[in-house]
Chains A and B, each alone.
Chain A
């Protein structure tokens, strides 16, 4: 119940901050751009748009959210409230993943593309969003302002994005799937282009495991470096 309340209050906060409105505008803009592309380009561009924007929005916003809550004293209140750190972080990850999933569904549904595996699309978007939001929490440790946070995200983004080029395909390129972002992009591409069921299952299990590891690690970092600042 505490978790549901925390998620609901995060969603209300995000609506108040204009997340949904801004993503409505962004979705319209993407649709305008995507509508101009020929079908063969669209099938490649659409998954890349979904992966590069809605799926990673958590990384962009979580830094500001935590810094704001820190400056408002929310984190101090949380320490003495019944809400556990795990629930606080999970609520953030789930509520941001919801924005990601809605934006991804809207962009895909309104684009002229057929044969989308909606279950895989939603699953891969949520798992990717989780990874990036949890990474954002870890990156946030030691940051005092948004500019610092933005600079600190650059190496992490490079670490996530550069291996994704392995999907272009070369010898042993599948080995790069060990990088969570590559696994996430493979699963997302599978939602649009089709994927063998056991590969989808393997990628899903791997991403679930990575999300769990990121979650445990972000809880630890959040408590030690952000709340108590040891």
Chain B
């Protein structure tokens, strides 16, 4: 019940503040922009420069999913940093909600949105041919990735500036989704430990059980470590 009230309050906080509303709805705008690019710009580039974008659609889809989850993760990370600055996080820790309850509420909010937006993005862009269960898994992994980003910012940064530095650096994690394009052996091997790589891998092999299992495990390992780090921090 407390959780529900808190989530309701979060929703109110977000939609009363026009800035937060914009940030939360921004991923949908990204989807629309990319749909327009696919319709108008890509055919133009294909005819003008003889470059076929459709060969790289799996990377495009992975990039968009990572962009959406990264964006929501950063927004929620900064929301939590603001809570930290305003001592709201400490205040929540002494309520029946507790430290973990506060974390669950804040992060579930962005991850649920991310899950929904990912499904919308895959269906609206319609550039990859994957079964429904793969769409669900990709959306779930994107949701977990948004939590990972939010937690990395919140637990790694002491203040807003460090948060921005983290956000800047974390954007670079997206590059691992494209590691196969670089044909660098060491870089491809390094990519295996990063969640973003597995988003592309699952899109490329939508029926591969091993890709599903390893990809999900990598996401869960990152998530578990970050939650453990947060809860064990005094």
Contacts and interface: CB of A to CB of B under 8 A. Distances in A.
A29 B168 contact: no
A63 B182 CA distance: 35
A25 B79 CA distance: 26
Nearest to B81: A146
Interface residues of A, number: 26
Given A32-B184, A36-B181, A60-B168, A146 B163 contact: yes
B164 A25 contact: no
Nearest to B159: A68
Contacts of A19: 165
Interface string B156-170: 000111111110110
A26 B174 CA distance: 12
B70 to A, nearest CB: 13
B interface SS class: helix
A54 B4 CA distance: 43
Contact of B175 (A32, A60, A61, A146): A32
Given A26-B168, A26-B169, A64 B187 contact: no
Contacts of A4: none
A121 B15 CA distance: 44
Chain B residues touching A, range: 20 to 34
Interface stretch (A147-155, A180-188, A192-200): A147-155
B110 to A, nearest CB: 12
A60 B187 CA distance: 28
Contacts of B22: 151
A17 B163 CA distance: 9
A32 B185 CA distance: 12
Contacts of A33: 175, 182
B20 A147 contact: yes
Interface string A57-83: 100110111011001000000000000
B19 interface: yes
Given A25-B172, A68-B159, A146 B164 contact: yes
A57 B167 CA distance: 12
Contacts of A145: 78, 82, 160
B23 interface: yes
Given A68-B159, A147-B79, A17 B165 contact: yes
Given A22-B169, A71-B85, A151-B23, A32 B161 contact: no
A18 to B, nearest CB: 5
Nearest to B172: A29
5 contacts: A29-B175, A145-B160, A146-B163, A147-B79, A148-B19
Interface of B: 19-20, 22-23, 75, 78-79, 81-82, 85, 159-166, 168-169, 172, 175, 181-184, 187
